[in-house]
Structure formats: structure tokens, C-alpha cells
Amino acid sequence: MVYGYIRVSTDKQTVENQRFEIENYCKERGMIVGSWIEETISGTKKVDERKLGKLLNKVKKDDIIICAELSRLGRNMFMIMSILNYCMENGIKVWTIKDNYRLGDDLTSKVLAFAFGLSAEIERNLISQRTKEALARKKSEGISLGRPKGRKSSHYKLTGKENAIKDLRNKGLSKSQIAKILEVHRNTLNVYMKKHTIE
């Protein structure tokens, strides 16, 4: 059986984008999601306090859990590794879309799981540290942080997504549905579509 797992951290985020990715992924491979698990909860919460914990107790050998990326399983290396280890020991497959990761029961999968989890954790820490150091340096130099008052941003949340918007429109989705999938306000989508002459 194929399970689609979706997690967002806050109720301000929507599950539509992850669901859309998983549905497309399965459709391209002739797979059908037999059950969806959606939850709005921080990835730092213990697994047994989440719907994911109930899912892990439910899945059987050769079942597949598909999620958008490994970070949906947890927010730190040790949590992700413990989940993957449990799945490996019980013959449960974990596939991710953005990472293009396939967890099986072979040695390569185990090595990749460890390497990916470790590198992801290190990268998050490095980015966080670099950001804090850069902000602290600018502040000490008296540089005002943030965009100057009255200046509009040259970069938009939808920048580079023209083709995705066109594809969704061609599939018959409404502007409201597209806005939910792309996690923007409908007005933001309208303005962007007009600016790039997308019908």
C-alpha cells in the first residue's frame, strides 16, 4: 500500500502544495495513494505525539511512504535517522520527491540515509550561524536591516513559476486553487499573472 504523508509546521501554511507534488509523482509512475496522512505540527515534536507515529505503527513490510522531502519527517538528523532506521528494520520503503530518495533494505540505502541526514543537519546549522553572524555584523556597523521604506521588492514569491502557473491553468484549475497550491494570496497571483500576461 502507498501512503502519502504531508506535514506543515503552522496553520498559516497549506498542505495543498505537498499533496499536489505527491499526486503528480504517483500519477507519472502509475501509482495510487491508498491513504493520506496530513498534520499541522512542528517537526521537533516526538514521533509518537504525531500522526506519523500512528502511521509507522500501522504500515507493513513493502508498504511505501511518500513525502515531499525528508525534512517532513523531522527537523533534526537524529529524529530522521531513527525513523528511517525503524522503516529499514521493518521493510518499509520511504520515498521522497524533492530529495529523490529511495529507502530500501540494502546497504546503500543505509549509507545514503546517514549521509543525507548528517549533511542536511550540518547545512541547516551552518546557514543559521552564517545568517546570525552577518546580521550581527551589519547591526554593529550601524547598517539598517530590512528593505528601505517605500522601495518595492524586485523579487516576487512567484518569480520563475510562470510555466507552473500556465500548466495549472491549462489543467482547468481556478485562480483560487492555484493560489492555494503556490501558497500565495489570490490577489498576489492575479497581479503576477497580469504582469506576465498569463490568462
**If you classify domain 2-118 with CATH, what class do you get?**
alpha beta
For the chain, domain boundaries = 2-118, 162-195
pLDDT in tens, 136-177: 888 888 777 665 555 454 446 788 788 888 888 887 888 888
> Grid coordinates representing 90?
521493518
Alpha carbon 132 to chain centroid, angstroms: 24
Q: Exposed e or buried b for every residue in 146-179, given b needs 16+ CB within 10 A?
A: eeeeeeeeeeeebeebeeebeebbeeebeeebbb
pLDDT value, residue 173: 82
Neighbours of 89 (CB within 10 A): 9
pTM above 0.85, yes or no: no
Q: Give the Cα separation of 169 and 128 in Å (integer).
A: 37
* Residue in the structure block whose three cell numbers are 495510487: 32
pLDDT value, residue 154: 42
* Residue in the structure block whose three cell numbers are 516576487: 156
Q: Give the Cα separation of 35 and 51 in Å (integer).
A: 13
Q: What is the pLDDT along the chain (199 residues), one digit of tens a residue?
A: 999 999 998 766 778 899 999 999 999 999 999 999 999 998 888 899 999 999 999 999 999 999 999 889 988 877 887 788 788 878 899 999 988 888 876 676 777 667 766 766 777 777 888 888 888 888 888 777 665 555 454 446 788 788 888 888 887 888 888 888 888 888 888 888 888 888 7
**Signed CA dihedral, 103, 104, 109, 110: sign only:** positive
Residue 2's beta-bridge partner residues?
Answer: 64
